[in-house]
């Protein structure tokens, strides 16, 4: 277990030295700032020069960074990339999944900043992308259906059907009747359709 951390340290210099911006190798920075494409697991392991179980360590570090020393654009892509390292369910996904949950907890504070909203939404979306189906993941997301940000609520509604867990149906229906923003209402309806359709089969 020690090897991945050593390898990660070799790639990401100065992370997470508080106050000093982490120096990412140029090719890593490029991979994590692509404009119209998210990096694949293969491209990340290529640019990091690490095996998948090693590459996830620096990505988790980037995702967790909360002191603002990591560029938010880089961080969002790192958060999202974690999901690509999760094996298909029902296999468990250790560090990537745990990190995503950690980001959700850290970013869903009462006084959330615009950056928190983006980090939170990205982690929510990435949890959906793991397609874990876990009750515990649904439980993490459902409270966010009352988040003050309409964008967070919309993201939750879009992520839940990816978990394909019928436990989400009831709370989504309640949320629909409470919701005032048309965008979120439509996302919830779409989620209910998916849970009742493709997921139910």
Partner 1 sequence: MLRGSLPLALLLVSLAGCPGGNGGLGEACHGNDDCGGGLQCFASQCAPRCQRAPDCGDGYACDDNGLCKLATGQRGDLCSSEVDCAPSLACRIDGAAIDPATHHLQATCLEQARMRLSGDTCIQDSDCRNWTCALGRCVDLCRQPRDCALGETCVEIPRVDANGALFAGCLPTQGSLSWSIPVTAPAAEVLLPVPAVARSVELVMAVDDPTQKVGAQRVLSPIGATIYTQPCSPLLSTADQPCEDNDAADQYFGNFDPGRPDTGNQVRHRAALGQSVLLMPSALTTPLATGDYVIKVASFRADGSGGSAIPRVTAVIKLDSGATLDLHFFFLDLTDHPCLDPGAVLNAGSAVSGAFQREYLAALRDVFTAPGVAIGDVTYEDITDRADLDGLDVANAGALLSLGRYATGINVFFVRSLSPLGIQAWGPNPGPAGLGGTPQSGIAIGLDTLCYRRWPAVARLTAYEIARYMGLYHNVELGTARHPTWRDPISDSGDTSSNLLYFSAAGGTDLSAGQAALLLRSAVLR
- Contact map string, positions 128 to 167, toward partner 1, x by CB under 8 A: -x-------------------xxx--xx--x---------
Counted residue by residue, the chain has a size of: 201
Regarding 72 and contact with partner 1 (CB under 8 A), the answer is: yes
Query: Least distance (Å) from partner 1 to the CB of residue 82?
Result: 12
Among 43, 69, 167, 169, binds partner 1 (CB under 8 A): 43
Neighbours of 191 (CB within 10 A): 23
**Which one of the spans 2-10, 66-74, 103-111, 162-170 is the region binding partner 1 (CB under 8 A)?**
66-74
Indicate if the alpha-carbon torsion angle 189, 194, 197, 201 is positive or negative: negative
Tokens of 84: 């690509």
Alpha carbon distance 72, 26 (integer Å):
16
Nearer CB in complex with partner 1: 136/183: 183
Q: At what angle do helices 2-11 and 52-64 cross, to 10 degrees?
A: 60
Among 50, 59, 60, 76, binds partner 1 (CB under 8 A): 76
**Which one of the spans 8-16, 32-40, 85-93, 192-200 is the region binding partner 1 (CB under 8 A)?**
32-40
The residue count for binding partner 1 (CB under 8 A) is 42
Regarding 179 and contact with partner 1 (CB under 8 A), the answer is: no
Neighbours of 65 (CB within 10 A): 21
114 and 144 Cβ atoms separated by less than 8 Å:
no
Regarding 30 and contact with partner 1 (CB under 8 A), the answer is: yes
């Amino acid at each position: 277990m020690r090897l991945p951390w050593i390898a990660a340290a070799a790639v990401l210099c100065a992370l997470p030295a508080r106050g000093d911006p982490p120096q990412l190798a140029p090719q890593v920075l490029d991979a994590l700032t692509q404009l119209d494409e998210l990096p694949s697991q293969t491209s990340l392991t290529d640019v990091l020069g690490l095996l998948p179980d090693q590459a996830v360590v620096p990505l988790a570090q980037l995702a967790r960074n909360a002191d603002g020393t990591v560029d938010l654009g880089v961080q969002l892509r790192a958060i999202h990339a974690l999901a690509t390292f999760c094996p298909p369910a029902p296999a468990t996904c250790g560090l990537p999944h745990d990190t995503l949950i950690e980001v959700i907890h850290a970013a869903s504070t009462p006084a959330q900043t615009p950056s928190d909203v983006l980090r939170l939404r990205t982690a929510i979306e990435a949890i959906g992308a793991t397609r874990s189906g876990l009750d515990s993941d649904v439980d993490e997301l459902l409270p966010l259906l009352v988040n003050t940000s309409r964008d967070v609520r919309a993201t939750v509604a879009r992520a839940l059907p990816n978990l394909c867990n019928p436990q989400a149906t009831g709370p989504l229906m309640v949320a629909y009747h409470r919701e005032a923003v048309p965008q979120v209402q439509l996302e919830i309806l779409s989620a209910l359709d998916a849970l009742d359709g493709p997921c139910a089969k």
